[in-house]
Amino acid sequence: DGGITQSPKYLFRKEGQNVTLSCEQNLNHDAMYWYRQDPGQGLRLIYYSQIVNDFQKGDIAEGYSVSREKKESFPLTVTSAQKNPTAFYLCASSPQGGARSYGYTFGSGTRLTVV
- Give the pairing of strands 110-114 and 10-13: parallel
> Should residue 8 be labelled a site residue for another protein when binding is judged by CB under 8 A?
no
> Should residue 54 be labelled a site residue for another protein when binding is judged by CB under 8 A?
no
Question: Which residues in 81-100 contact another protein (CB under 8 A)?
Answer: 88, 90, 92, 94, 96-100
Q: Which of 19, 33, 78, 82 binds another protein (CB under 8 A)?
A: 33
Q: Which amino acid is at 21?
A: L
Q: Which of 23, 24, 47, 48 binds another protein (CB under 8 A)?
A: 48
User: Residue 67, by phi and psi: left (phi above 0), alpha (psi -120 to 50) or beta?
Assistant: beta
